């Protein structure tokens, strides 16, 4: 299987993770023109599962190092299997809420609040689970990100005061906070299923990144039949949707959702692959710099802060600066 050989390559993969995790939401925004996010989400999950299989039979099966994908999945012990599977369930619950938040508050609010909170909590959880990197610089980076999140929340609260739009944004922010809390836990479960200290000769019963990603994706798919069905019947906003509506969607609309899952899946696979060299806390924390990427999409492409005041624009500028400084600190902490 393909194994990352140095820290620089690990950082490059984490940057790709950051771009992918921050960009998949664009496919939801595109689909939203004709498609409810609850229906979009089914195609998104299908895209993740397909990508995990493709990666397993390509990068996970080439070379002489490590353990091949099929051998990896068939030898896993129950503890590692259920750890990765549980990570998929937790992620799915959090990401469904994040998708709801995007539909209510937009990418430039949902990602910095939800994913930013997940970054902060997740770095702590992953670091204390598998310490790696300079803790002072790492947590300084986290503090900068927290400040950026607060500034984003203030900027959002200044938009459309007293209107129905502001109430919708507020509801989206609350959902994003819940999503971020849940999202901070999923990576630790998946990392616990992998032998990140010895990918060349992984411990028997534990998983490589490729096997863990596949089982993780199966956890997402299995839980989606319960979690997303519940949200379809009891949506956060609007009327309930049903499966007959899903099957009435055209091919182009379905492919947009699958593309979203593939984009997110590429980022996640690279994050797991990089974790062996960078450490789980840094790999996760740098990947969650997706908050910055998503905020850039939301502000400059989707114009979610259109006609905002000069004071609000200054807050957004400082938010971007602090996010960048925080991400640089997280990278430097792993040196």
Amino acid 218: pLDDT: 98
Question: pLDDT per residue over 86-117, tens digit each?
Answer: 999 999 999 999 999 988 888 878 888 888 78
Amino acid 85: pLDDT: 98
Amino acid 32: pLDDT: 87
207: DSSP letter: B
CA–CA distance, 281 with 287 (Å, rounded to integer): 10
Least confident segment among 64-73, 86-95, 148-157: 148-157
Stretch 259-266: mean pLDDT: 96
Four-point Cα dihedral 261, 182, 187, 288, nearest 10: 70
Half-sphere exposure of 61 (CA within 13 A, CB side): 11
Predicted structure pTM score: 0.87
Q: What are phi and psi for residue 207, nearest 5 degrees?
A: -110, 155
- pLDDT of residue 161 exceeding 60, the answer is no
316, 155 contact by CB (below 8 A): yes
% the chain with pLDDT above 90: 52
Name the 3-class secondary structure at 241.
coil
CA–CA distance, 161 with 156 (Å, rounded to integer): 10
- pLDDT of residue 273 exceeding 80, the answer is yes
Mean pLDDT of the chain: 89
Cβ within 8 Å of residue 142, ≥6 positions away: 119, 120, 123, 124, 285, 326, 330
CA–CA distance, 174 with 170 (Å, rounded to integer): 6
In the block, tokens 């598998």 appear at: 130
- pLDDT of residue 160 exceeding 60, the answer is no
Long-range pairs for 91-95 at CB < 8 Å and ≥24 separation? 91/183, 91/186, 91/216, 91/219, 91/220, 92/45, 92/219, 92/220, 92/223, 92/224, 92/227, 92/228, 93/182, 93/223, 93/227, 94/118, 94/179, 94/180, 94/181, 94/182, 94/183, 94/186, 95/179, 95/183
Least confident segment among 15-19, 114-118, 184-188, 211-215: 114-118
Burial environment of residue 9 by CB neighbours within 10 A (0 to 12, 13 to 18, 19 or more): middle
Give the pLDDT band of residue 192 (cuts 50, 70, 90).
very high
- pLDDT of residue 163 exceeding 80, the answer is no
Stretch 293-304: mean pLDDT: 84
CA–CA distance, 16 with 263 (Å, rounded to integer): 10
Stretch 41-63: mean pLDDT: 96
Stretch 187-211: mean pLDDT: 92
For residue 18, give Cα distances in angstroms to 36, 234, 286, 319.
Answer: 26, 32, 7, 17
Half-sphere exposure of 236 (CA within 13 A, CB side): 23
User: Helix, strand, coil shares of the chain as percentages rounded to 5?
Assistant: 75, 0, 25
Least confident segment among 71-75, 134-138, 178-182, 243-247: 134-138
Cβ within 8 Å of residue 71, ≥6 positions away: none
Least confident segment among 12-26, 41-55, 137-151, 239-253: 137-151
Give the pLDDT band of residue 41 (cuts 50, 70, 90).
very high
52, 269 contact by CB (below 8 A): yes
Stretch 223-243: mean pLDDT: 94
Sign of CA dihedral 54, 57, 58, 61: positive
- pLDDT of residue 199 exceeding 60, the answer is yes
Cα-to-chain-centroid distance, residue 141: 19
């Amino acid at each position: 299987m393909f194994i990352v050989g140095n820290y620089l390559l690990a950082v490059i993969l984490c940057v790709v993770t950051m771009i992918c995790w921050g960009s998949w939401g664009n496919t939801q925004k595109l689909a939203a023109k004709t498609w409810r996010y609850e229906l979009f989400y089914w195609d998104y999950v299908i895209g993740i599962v397909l990508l995990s299989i493709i990666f397993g039979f390509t990068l996970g099966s080439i070379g002489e190092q490590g353990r091949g994908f099929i051998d990896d999945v068939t030898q896993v012990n129950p503890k590692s299997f259920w750890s990765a599977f549980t990570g998929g369930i937790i992620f799915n619950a959090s990401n469904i809420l994040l998708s709801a938040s995007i539909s209510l508050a937009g990418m430039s609010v949902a990602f910095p609040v939800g994913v930013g909170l997940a970054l902060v909590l997740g770095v702590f959880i992953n670091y204390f689970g598998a310490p790696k990197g300079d803790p002072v610089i790492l947590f300084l980076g986290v503090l900068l990100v927290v400040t950026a999140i607060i500034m984003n929340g203030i900027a959002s609260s200044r938009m459309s005061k007293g209107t129905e739009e502001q109430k919708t944004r507020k509801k989206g922010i609350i959902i994003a906070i819940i999503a971020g809390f849940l999202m901070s836990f999923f990576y630790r479960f998946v990392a616990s299923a992998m032998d990140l200290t010895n990918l060349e000769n992984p411990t028997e019963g534990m998983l490589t990144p490729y096997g863990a990603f596949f089982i993780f994706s199966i956890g997402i798919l299995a839980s989606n039949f319960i979690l997303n069905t519940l949200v379809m019947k009891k949506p956060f906003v609007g009327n309930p949707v049903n499966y007959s509506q899903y099957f009435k969607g055209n091919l182009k609309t379905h492919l947009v959702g699958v593309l979203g899952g593939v984009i997110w899946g590429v980022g996640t696979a690279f994050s797991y692959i990089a974790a062996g060299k960078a450490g789980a806390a840094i790999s996760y924390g740098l990947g969650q710099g997706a908050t910055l990427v998503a905020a850039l999409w939301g502000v400059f492409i989707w114009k979610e802060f259109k006609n905002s005041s000069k004071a609000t624009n200054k807050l957004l500028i400082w938010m971007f600066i602090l996010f960048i400084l925080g991400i640089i600190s997280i990278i430097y902490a792993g040196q």
